């Protein structure tokens, strides 16, 4: 009996020891898994191809708590990048932020600062260590965010971005984007957002040049967005098949905005189309730079043309022709608010150079000559939207024929010309000395130096009295 009691006691001790080991193992495993929490922060170590969900979490009211400060530190193999794919994102704009930076320690200078509800669909951080921090203000709370953190070790060799990415745009760099499946039909029910962070919002601009565009009219569209004050504002939208191609469109930015967003949406239950492809270029030089070859023509338009141009607009171009050439501007249409919305044209490499012409309203010369291989063009509009106008449509050509041909014997077409002291310029009615045609409307404009006067000498004059006038 004693032997039996001792045996039972020994078995109980062994079972208790095994139980303690099991509990210790479970406790140790829980701690390892809790080294990073999807809603509580911590250190996240991912192997190749592994992923981890992070989120702001929600309380009983279905929103995240106020006064949060959650930090995740992500580590992937040295040869890998950290890919952050957003499943949802709604925070209180300019109150609650998601900061993303590289390195093992958080800093006051994150790579990305996200707030509101417009964020890129994904961000690829080309670092093996990344920190992510979410903060919320007092008395705050929205639905929050959820993102998948992925260790991606394959080189990103894609030349066309069809997934919606975030870019730290570099001066002069061009990024090519397209709708999913392009050139085949895009799927229904998608929303993609590309974000372009500017090096210096005060001096840099983003231009979008559509190379191809076909969407379901009104149902599926491309939107240009930027942050303005305490909200995100749609600046321009494009839909259907009448979008101008191969024409750089300036994304209008606010002074306080750091990001330019391009968003593509398609309805859930609609037929689809081929979609779009576009080049997105960051330019930090004054004006959008256009370099023409000999006798090459470039089309210049106000943003949104032929629709009404935007209020409070400021867009500019710098035109460069070969050394021995001049620059000729031909207006196909000109319609702006008189004395309020103005096209400035000058000679030289930038906007600080000599201004030659100041055009406004709807009565301008059809042609304008800049006797230089460098010209700048700047269009500005005020905030008054009581009178809407279409803007201008012009062709800019580098004229590289010989000087004798440039100096017209008689200008019969109507040109804006900058004259120097002593210059003589001859004009005449069309077809002179033969009869001119009916319903002619021709305008000449002359810019002369300060302290000079313009003398007009009429050598011959015969018109239909009371009907045809100079």
Give per-10-residue mean pLDDT for the chain (470 aa).
Answer: 51 40 33 57 92 90 92 94 94 92 83 90 93 91 92 83 91 92 94 88 82 93 74 77 84 72 88 92 79 88 85 87 90 92 88 84 88 91 85 91 52 78 82 81 80 83 83
- Rounded Cα distance, 291 and 298, in Å: 9
From 414, 437, 418, 416, select the one nearest 427 (Cα to Cα): 414
For residue 264, the model assigns a pLDDT of 95
Query: What sign results for the dihedral spanned by CA atoms 104, 110, 112, 117?
Result: positive
Q: Compute how many other C-beta atoms are within 10 angstroms of the C-beta atom of residue 349.
A: 17
For residue 422, the model assigns a pLDDT of 75
For residue 183, the model assigns a pLDDT of 93
Task: Identify the structural domains of the chain with CATH numbers, from first to last.
Answer: 37-152 (2.60.120.290), 158-284 (2.60.120.290), 286-470 (2.60.120.290)
CA 462-465-466 angle, 5° bins: 140
- Neighbouring C-alpha atoms within 13 Å toward the C-beta of 146: 7
- Rounded Cα distance, 310 and 388, in Å: 9
Please say whether the beta carbons of 81 and 125 come within 8 A.
yes
- Neighbouring C-alpha atoms within 13 Å toward the C-beta of 166: 21
Peptide bond into 183 cis (omega under 30): yes
For residue 233, the model assigns a pLDDT of 64
């Amino acid at each position: 009996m004693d032997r039996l009691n001792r045996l039972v006691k020994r078995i109980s001790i062994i079972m208790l020891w095994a139980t303690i080991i099991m509990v210790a193992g479970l406790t140790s495993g829980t701690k390892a898994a809790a080294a990073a929490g999807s809603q509580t922060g911590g250190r996240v170590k991912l192997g190749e191809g592994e992923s981890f969900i992070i989120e702001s979490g929600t309380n009983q009211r279905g929103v995240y708590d106020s006064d949060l400060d959650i930090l995740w530190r992500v580590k992937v193999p040295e040869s890998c990048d950290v890919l952050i794919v957003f499943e949802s994102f709604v925070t209180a704009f300019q109150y609650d932020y998601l900061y993303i930076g590289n390195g093992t320690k958080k800093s006051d200078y994150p790579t990305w600062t996200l707030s509101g509800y417009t964020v890129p669909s994904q961000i690829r951080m080309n670092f093996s260590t990344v920190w992510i921090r979410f903060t919320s203000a007092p008395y705050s709370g929205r639905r929050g965010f959820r993102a998948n953190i992925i260790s991606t070790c394959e080189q990103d060799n894609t030349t066309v971005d069809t997934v919606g990415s975030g870019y730290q745009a570099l001066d002069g760099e061009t990024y090519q984007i397209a709708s999913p499946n392009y050139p085949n039909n895009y799927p229904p029910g998608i929303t993609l957002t590309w974000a372009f962070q500017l090096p210096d919002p005060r001096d840099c601009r983003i231009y979008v040049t559509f190379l191809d565009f076909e969407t379901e009219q009104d149902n599926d569209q491309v939107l240009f967005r930027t942050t303005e004050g305490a909200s995100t504002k749609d600046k321009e939208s494009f839909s259907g098949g009448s979008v101008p191609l191969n024409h750089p469109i300036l994304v209008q930015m606010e002074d306080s905005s750091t990001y330019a967003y391009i968003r593509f949406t398609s309805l859930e239950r609609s037929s689809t189309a081929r979609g779009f492809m576009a080049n997105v270029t960051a330019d930090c030089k004054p004006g959008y730079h256009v370099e023409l070859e000999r006798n090459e023509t470039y089309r210049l338009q106000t943003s949104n043309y032929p629709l009404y141009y935007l209020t409070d607009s400021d867009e500019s171009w710098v035109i460069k022709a070969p050394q021995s050439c001049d620059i000729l501007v031909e207006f196909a249409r000109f319609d702006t608010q008189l004395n309020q919305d103005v096209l400035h044209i000058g000679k030289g490499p930038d906007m600080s150079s000599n201004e030659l012409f100041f055009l406004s309203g709807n009565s301008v010369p059809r042609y304008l000559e800049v006797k230089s291989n460098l010209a700048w063009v700047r269009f500005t509009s005020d905030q008054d939207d009581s009178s809407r106008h279409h803007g201008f449509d012009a062709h800019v050509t580098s004229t590289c024929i010989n000087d004798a041909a440039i100096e017209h014997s008689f200008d019969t077409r109507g040109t804006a010309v900058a004259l120097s002291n002593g210059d003589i310029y001859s004009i005449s009615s069309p077809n002179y000395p033969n009869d001119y045609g009916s319903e002619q409307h021709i305008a000449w404009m002359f810019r002369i130096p300060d302290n000079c006067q313009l003398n007009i000498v009429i050598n011959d004059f015969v018109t239909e009295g009371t009907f045809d006038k100079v």
